[in-house]
Chains A and B, each alone.
Chain A
Amino acid sequence: MTPRVSWGERLTQWAFYLPVIFMLVFFALPMALTVVFSVFERTMFWMEPGFSLKAYENFFFSARLKNFLSSMYYSLIAVAICFVLGFPIAVFLRRSVPQVAQHRVILLFILPFMVSEIIRIFALRPVLQRNGLVNTTLQNLGVIDEPITALIYTHTGVIIGEVLSFLPFIVFSGFLAMEAVPKYIFEACDDLGVGPVQRFRDIILPLAAPGIFAGCVFIFVNGIGVALLPNILGGPGAVNAGLIATQAIAALDFPLAMAVSAIMMVTLMSLLYIGHRIFDLTKILAPIN
């Protein structure tokens, strides 16, 4: 006979579904509805139900598409730089730092990440501008005679901002990913005389691929989506999807903002789907399962 379950216990069981329901209603549904709202008709101050592809036309047949694609290109550069600078740290941590100390070192990378993104981006202005910290230091050291002006209000400035904002993520995801590469593999490689390049290409990369991919997708998507980066550090032509969406909202063109959101969502979902099919992204969470 099945034991009688009290109301209290039944309620407790339902409570576990609460976060999932909350995220379905307030995250998944609004994101999915961007597709519906993007085909609504634009009115003077809002929008009304209907079917119009005007917003997509505004996006795909204007300079916005070029800006979007160019922000993708610069974001890919930022991903590559973050990977080159950050992933070796994750490998070093897993391979050479005692296990007790590993999590403390990871906390060091949480530190910059916990300072507001806005402040970190704004703080780059006095560092990178003409009479800023970098130029003053280089001039004082005699490395340069004239200040470097390309550091800010250019695409270079946006890339620097993206790297400094998102680099910790490649360290975190790389750190999780390196859990799949046991320490003895390094020892076996050393015994066999395998060089670092071959070791990375043939052993580390295939095993740590899910974590690396997740970290790269995070940086890429945020690179094309965080409006403040091109807004504060970029010059003319530095526009990304996030900035297009916020500008559309400021201009009360809500269908266009929703079209951009829908395009971003489809881009993200496609990337995650492809990544999951190739690498099985659930492997990233294996260490905490």
Chain B
Amino acid sequence: MNDYDNIWAHRAKWTYLLLIVFTLMSPVFYVMYISFNLNGFGAAEYIFTWKWYGQIFSDQLMMQALRWTMTLALVTTLIAVPMALLAAKHYKATDKKLLVVFLMLAPLFVAPDILGSALLVFFKNTNGMFKWLGDLWGVDFMDSWFRLGFLTALIGLIIYTIPYSFIVILITMGRYRVEQTEAARDCGASGWRAFWDIEFPQIRAGVFSACSFTVILCFNEYTRTSLLKGGFDTFTTVLVSQMLNEGMSETSYAMSSFVSFVAIALIGGIILYTMIRSESLARIERAKAEPVAA
């Protein structure tokens, strides 16, 4: 029997689906709820307040960490998304698909602590090697190459985010017909113009989604960054060190909620955009299908 034949079974399945989403989100919602309580977690009386949010934004350490996080997120997006785009195009064109897809998606399967540890030791050894070479040649400009800091944290973040961008762009590219590029090239367009004028407008949604995901993932990432960042702090490293040292304070709840609000707003925006876009596409399709009045 089809689900649509039994409306109650269909409704029950929808309820179950939404219940699972709600359960997955409930800890985050609960933290948001606590973050607005003047009395904090576990208090008998709930008094609404913005106080804890005010405190995190007046904290200089926090603001500095936020600036570092935003810079990392921006630079990671500027590098990881174009690289994912290049990788997706390479995947489409190459015969060695397995190698490309393995390299691009494998970081998803490596636990953050394991990848972070491997990169930490790799960078420390590479830095040592460059120092040794510098001493050998009597130069010192290579001494800081791969010293733990912004660059190493950035590389860790690119490795972390590239699989997500790659998948999102690849899915969008699945709808693109390569014959359009061939037609553009036959008409004399250069490779770049064929990409920019014909292909990019059709995969733009995927590229922008990849940018949003990258920013969110950079804001959320802790383990690899904490191992590779060297001397500076990011939003999550400050948050986790506070949580581990002082336990869950009222400002910890506010900080967690702030990051979650940003992520939810961005994803909500994407959902809304795709809904509006698919509605307008459906309207165009319907208009095309209707006979023109005489």
Q: Which A-chain residue is minimally distant from B253 (CB atoms)?
A: A126
Contact across chains for A23 and B159 when beta carbons are under 8 A apart: yes
Instruction: List the A side residues contacting B111 at CB < 8 Å.
Output: 221-222, 224-226, 241-242, 264
Q: Which of A15, A37, A115, A167 contacts B220 (CB 8 A)?
A: A115
Say yes or no: is A265 at the interface (Cβ < 8 Å to chain B): yes
**Which residue of chain B is the closest to A272 with respect to CB atoms?**
B109
For the complex, give the distance between the alpha carbons of A114 and B259 in Å: 10
User: Besides the contacts A22-B158, A33-B122, A37-B121, what 14 more A-B pairs have beta carbons closer than 8 Å?
Assistant: A19-B86, A26-B158, A89-B20, A92-B3, A107-B267, A111-B268, A112-B21, A115-B25, A133-B30, A164-B23, A227-B223, A254-B121, A261-B117, A288-B174
Is the CB–CB distance between A258 and B118 below 8 Å? yes
Given contacts A118-B236, A122-B243, contact A19 B117 (CB under 8 A): no
The reply on A148 being an interface residue by CB < 8 A is no
Measured between beta carbons, the chain B residues less than 8 angstroms from A17 are 90
Q: How far is the CA of A116 from the CA of B236 in the complex (A)?
A: 9
Q: How many residues of A contact B (CB 8 A)?
A: 89
Contact present for A92 and B191 (CB under 8 Å): no
B window 109-124: CB within 8 A of A = 109-115, 117-122, 124
Tell me if B256 counts as interface (CB < 8 A to partner A): yes
- B272-283 to A contact mask, C-beta < 8 Å, 1/0: 001100100010
Quick one: CB contact mask for A4-30 with B, threshold 8 Å, 1 for yes?
Answer: 000001001001111110111011111
Which residues of B approach A to under 8 Å, CB–CB? 1-4, 10, 13, 16-17, 20-21, 23-28, 30-31, 34, 41-42, 83-84, 86-87, 89-90, 93, 97-101, 103-104, 106-115, 117-122, 124-125, 155, 158-159, 162, 170-171, 173-174, 191-192, 213, 216-217, 219-223, 227, 236, 239-240, 243, 248, 252, 256, 259-260, 263-264, 266-268, 270-271, 274-275, 278, 282
* Residue of A117, A119, A268 touching B110 (CB-CB under 8 A): A268
A218 at the interface (CB under 8 A from B): yes
Q: Is the CB of B117 within 8 A of A23?
A: no
A104 within 8 A of B: yes
Contact A107 B4 (CB under 8 A): no
| B130 CB to nearest chain A CB (Å) | 14
Q: Is the CB of A118 within 8 A of B222?
A: yes
| Shortest beta-carbon contacts, A-B, top 9 | A225-B111, A116-B220, A242-B113, A123-B27, A30-B122, A19-B87, A112-B24, A96-B3, A16-B90
Contact stretch, chosen from A59-67, A204-212, A243-251? A243-251
Residues of B within 8 A of A133 (CB): 26, 30
B252 surroundings in chain A (CB, below 8 A): 122
Q: Report if A85 contacts B (CB, 8 A).
A: yes
* Interfacial chain A residues near B267, Cβ < 8 Å: 107, 110-111, 114
Interface of B, helix, strand, loop or mixed by DSSP: helix
Beta-carbon contact of A27 and B106 below 8 Å: yes
Task: Indicate if the CB atoms of B256 and A24 lie closer than 8 Å.
Answer: no
CA distance A95 to B141 in the complex (A): 61
A268 x B263 contact (CB < 8 A): no
Would B17 and A164 count as touching, CB distance under 8 A? no
Residue of B110, B125, B263 near A225 (CB, 8 A) is B110
Question: Distance (Å) between the CB of B273 and the closest chain A CB?
Answer: 11
Chain B, residue nearest A23 (CB):
B103
Whether A111 pairs with B259 at a CB distance below 8 angstroms is no
Given contacts A27-B107, A120-B28, A254-B121, contact A85 B223 (CB under 8 A): no
CB-based contact B86/A119 at 8 Å: no
Give the residue of B26, B28, B192 whose beta carbon is less than 8 angstroms from that of A119.
B28
B263 touches A164 (CB 8 A): no
18 pairs of residues in contact across A and B, judged by CB atoms under 8 Å: A19-B83, A20-B90, A20-B100, A23-B104, A31-B118, A95-B3, A96-B2, A103-B274, A109-B21, A115-B25, A119-B220, A123-B27, A123-B30, A225-B110, A241-B111, A241-B114, A282-B98, A288-B173
Do residues B259 and A107 form an inter-chain contact, with CB atoms below 8 A? no
The answer to whether A285 touches B118, judged by C-beta atoms less than 8 angstroms apart, is no
B104 A19 Cβ-Cβ under 8 A = yes
Which A residues touch B222, using CB under 8 A?
116-118, 228
**What residues of A have a CB within 8 angstroms of the CB of B259 in the complex?**
115-116, 119
Known: A18-B86, A115-B28. A23 touches B162 (CB 8 A): yes
The docked-state distance in angstroms from the alpha carbon of A127 to that of B84 is 38
Q: CB distance A111 to B104 under 8 Å? A: no
The CB with the most chain A CB atoms within 10 A, among B26, B27, B119, is that of B27
Tell whether, in the assembled complex, residue A19 and residue B10 are in contact, meaning their CB atoms are under 8 Å apart: no
Q: A22-B158, A131-B42 are in contact. Are A111 and B191 (CB under 8 A)?
A: no
